[in-house]
Amino acid sequence: MSKVSNRLQAAEKVGAIKNQEKGAEHRDAVKSIYFIWCMWYVDHRI
């Protein structure tokens, strides 16, 4: 278990560094994709 959790923590650290480098652009892209998906879901829910 400890090996797996250590790997996950390391991956989270690397991911956090990459996310900081990408910054607001990455967050805006995720928000826009999520928004588009929500609109599509509402349209096709019927």
pLDDT digits (tens, 9 = 90+) for 1-46: 578 888 888 878 887 777 666 676 777 888 999 999 989 998 887 6
Q: Where are the alpha helices (DSSP H) in 23-45?
A: 24-44
pTM over 0.85, yes/no: no
- Res 24: pLDDT: 67
Q: How far is CA 33 from CA 26, 30, 40, 41, in A?
A: 11, 5, 11, 12
- Counted domains in the chain: 1
Domain extent, residue 30, equals 2-44
- Res 2: pLDDT: 79
- Res 1: pLDDT: 59
Spatial distance between the Cα atoms of 11 and 43, rounded to a whole number of angstroms: 37
Q: Taking a C-beta distance cutoff of 8 angstroms, is the pair 19, 26 a contact?
A: yes
- Res 19: pLDDT: 64
Q: Which residue has the tokens 């990408």?
A: 22
Spatial distance between the Cα atoms of 46 and 40, rounded to a whole number of angstroms: 11
- Res 35: pLDDT: 93
